[in-house]
A and B are shown apart, each in its own frame.
Chain A
Amino acid sequence: MLKVRVIPCMLFNGFHLVKTVAFGQMRTIGNPVQTARIYNKRNVDELIFIDITASQDQRPPMFDVIRDIFKECFMPLSVGGGIHAITTVDRLMKIGADKIIINSEAIRNPDFVTQVAKKYGSQSVVVSIDAKKQGKAHWVCTERGEENTGMVAEEWAKKVAKLGAGEIFLNSIDRDGTMQGYDLDLISKVGKTVSIPVIACGGAGSSSQVVEAVKSGEAAAVSLASLFHYTQTTPDNVKAALHEAGVPVRLT
C-alpha cells in the first residue's frame, strides 16, 4: 500500500537553516548540510529544502549548498526558493533534485508551471501555496505572506493542478512555527478540490496533531520543522503515532 509520507522541512536564509513563526521572525537552527545528513541517517521518507529569502533578495538559489545537501540524501529531495527560470530548473535537476518547488513564479507567470511539467513531468513539479485565513476564507499570499493575491487557496490549487503541478505544498501562514496544530480546515478544503497529493505544512507541535492532519484533513503527506528542531520528537516517533492510528507509513 502507498505510504503517507512524513517530510522534514528545511528553511534556509542564504546563511543558515532557520525557522520562522508566521513567516516572520527567523531563528537560526544550524547548518543545512549537517541537518540533511542527520535526516538521511534517520531514514526519512523525503526532504524539502526551501531557500526562503532567495526571491526576496533577488538572488539565485545557492547551488553549492544544494549540491552538498544532495550528496547526503538517498531519498527524494524537493528544492524551492528563487526558481523563476527554466535554466535554474535545469541546473537544479542536473545537480540531482527530484522535484522543483515553485511559488511566486507560478503566481506571476502560471505558464511556467506547465513549462517545467512538460520538460520534466508533473511528478517533478510541486507548487507551494502560502495561505492566510481571513474570516472563513483562506487567501493565497505572496511576498512571504505580505501581499494578498486575492485568490482563495482551493481555487488556486485547482488551477495549478490543471497547469501541470504534480503535488501541492500547502502552508498555513497563521500556523507556521506556532506548534498549535495544522489548519485542518485549509488542508481538507484544498484536498477535496484537487486530485493531486497535498503536503500539509504549518503548525505541527505534536505527533497527535500530525495524525489529525492525515485522519481528518486527509493530507497525502505531512511536512514539519519545529517539532523536529525544538523537541525530542523524531520522524520515526511521528510515524509510529500514525501507524498506531491505522495510517499506512513506512516504518523503519
Chain B
Amino acid sequence: MMVVIIDYNMGNVASVEKAFKALDVAAVVSHNKSDIEEAQYLVLPGVGAFGDGIKNLQALDLVDILHKKVVEDGVPFLGICLGMQLIAEVGYEFGAHKGLGWVAGEVAKLESKKLHLPHVGWNDVTVVKDDILFKDITDKNFYFVHSYFLNCVNASIVSATCEYGQRFAAAIRQDNIFATQFHPEKSQGSGLRLLQNFLSSRDYA
C-alpha cells in the first residue's frame, strides 16, 4: 500500500507520517511527481493560510498531477485542515485565491460571534451521513485548529458537522475525495481509526 503525504511546506507533516506509522503503514512524505504518480492513497495535510498553500502547490508544479490522480484516476484522497480547504473553488483568507476546484464551494471565515478565533481544541462532530470514515468510531471528539471552513454548495457531500458559533462541515466525502477540517493525526484513538478507515475506502468504493 503506497500512501503519499504531500509535502508542500505547509506545517506539520511529521505528525501525519507518524500516525500512519502507528498503523503499520509505510507512508512516504514527498513532493516528487514520480512518488505521486505511483500513489495508491494521497494525503494533503497542512496548517497555514489558503493563499500560501495554493502558491506552494503551484511552485512545486503539483496542481496538474494531483488533478489527474484524484479527479481523473479516482485515487482515494484525504485532505486535512488546510488540505480540505484547498480543494474548494475559492478561498477568502487574506484576499480571494483560486483553489483546486475539486468540490463546489468556497472557504469562508467562521462567524464566531463572541467565541474566540481560531477555533482550537477538542470538539464533537455529528455524523450526518453514514460514511466509511467514521466506521466504528464511538468517541467523536476530534482536535480542531482553524478560523476558516469549507462552505460546500452541495450539502449532500457533508458527512459530519461541528458547531462553533455556527454549524460547519467537519468532514466531507465526494466519491474518492475525503476531507476533514479537524486533525485526525492529533485526535488520539478516534483519529487513528479514521485514518485506518480511509485506507480501507478502496474496498468499499
Report which A residues bind B (CB closer than 8 A): 1-3, 5, 40, 43, 45, 70-71, 74-76, 93-96, 98, 120-123, 166-167, 195-197, 221, 250, 252
Q: A2-B164, A3-B124, A95-B14 are in contact. List 5 more A-B contacts (CB 8 A).
A: A74-B185, A74-B189, A75-B187, A96-B15, A122-B118
- Find chain B residues with CB under 8 A from A5 CB: 121-122
Tell me, yes or no, whether B67 is within 8 Å of chain A by CB: no
Nearest-neighbour CB distance to chain B for A65, whole angstroms, equals 16
List the count of A-B residue pairs having beta carbons below 8 Å apart.
Answer: 75
Contact B121 A74 (CB under 8 A): no
Tell me, yes or no, whether B199 is within 8 Å of chain A by CB: no
Contact B121 A43 (CB under 8 A): no
Contact B186 A166 (CB under 8 A): no
Nearest-neighbour CB distance to chain B for A22, whole angstroms, equals 30
Contact B119 A2 (CB under 8 A): yes
- Find chain A residues with CB under 8 A from B14 CB: 70, 94-96
B101-144 CB mask vs A (1 if < 8 Å, else 0) is: 00000000000000110111111100000000000000101010
Please report the C-alpha to C-alpha distance between residue A1 and residue B123 in the assembled complex, in whole angstroms. Answer: 6
CB closest chain-B residue, reference A249: B122
- Find chain B residues with CB under 8 A from A167 CB: 120
Contact A98 B186 (CB under 8 A): yes
Contact B189 A96 (CB under 8 A): no
Other-chain residue from B11, B12, B122, B192 in contact with A74 (beta carbon distance below 8 A)? B192
Tell me, yes or no, whether B63 is within 8 Å of chain A by CB: no
Interfacial residues of chain B within 191-205, with CB under 8 A of chain A in the complex: 191-192
Where chain A touches its partner, the secondary structure class is loop
- Find chain B residues with CB under 8 A from A71 CB: 18
B161-205 CB mask vs A (1 if < 8 Å, else 0) is: 001100000000000000000000111110110000000000000
Q: How large is the interface on B (under 10, 10 to 19, 20 to 34, 35 or more residues)?
A: 20 to 34
Assuming the A-B contacts A74-B192, A96-B14, A98-B186, are A166 and B118 also in contact, with contact meaning beta carbons closer than 8 angstroms in the complex? yes
Assuming the A-B contacts A74-B185, A74-B192, are A96 and B12 also in contact, with contact meaning beta carbons closer than 8 angstroms in the complex? yes
5 contacts between A and B (CB under 8 A): A74-B18, A74-B19, A75-B188, A123-B120, A252-B139
CB closest chain-B residue, reference A5: B121
CB closest chain-A residue, reference B184: A74
Tell me, yes or no, whether B1 is within 8 Å of chain A by CB: no
- In this complex, which of A2, A5, A167 has the most chain B Cβ atoms within 10 angstroms of its Cβ? A2
Please report the C-alpha to C-alpha distance between residue A146 and residue B154 in the assembled complex, in whole angstroms. Answer: 59
- Find chain B residues with CB under 8 A from A121 CB: 47-48, 118
Nearest-neighbour CB distance to chain A for B174, whole angstroms, equals 28
Nearest-neighbour CB distance to chain B for A94, whole angstroms, equals 7
Please report the C-alpha to C-alpha distance between residue A221 and residue B116 in the assembled complex, in whole angstroms. Answer: 14
Tell me, yes or no, whether B62 is within 8 Å of chain A by CB: no
Contact A3 B123 (CB under 8 A): yes
Contact B189 A43 (CB under 8 A): yes
Other-chain residue from A93, A166, A195, A196 in contact with B12 (beta carbon distance below 8 A)? A93
- Find chain A residues with CB under 8 A from B145 CB: 98, 123
Please report the C-alpha to C-alpha distance between residue A45 and residue B18 in the assembled complex, in whole angstroms. Answer: 18
Contact B48 A195 (CB under 8 A): no
Contact A43 B119 (CB under 8 A): no
Please report the C-alpha to C-alpha distance between residue A120 and residue B124 in the assembled complex, in whole angstroms. Answer: 25
Please report the C-alpha to C-alpha distance between residue A3 and residue B191 in the assembled complex, in whole angstroms. Answer: 17
Contact B22 A196 (CB under 8 A): no
Nearest-neighbour CB distance to chain B for A6, whole angstroms, equals 10
Contact A74 B188 (CB under 8 A): yes
- In this complex, which of B48, B122, B123 has the most chain A Cβ atoms within 10 angstroms of its Cβ? B122
Nearest-neighbour CB distance to chain A for B50, whole angstroms, equals 13
CB closest chain-B residue, reference A94: B14
- Find chain A residues with CB under 8 A from B12 CB: 93, 96, 98
Nearest-neighbour CB distance to chain A for B7, whole angstroms, equals 12
CB closest chain-A residue, reference B124: A1
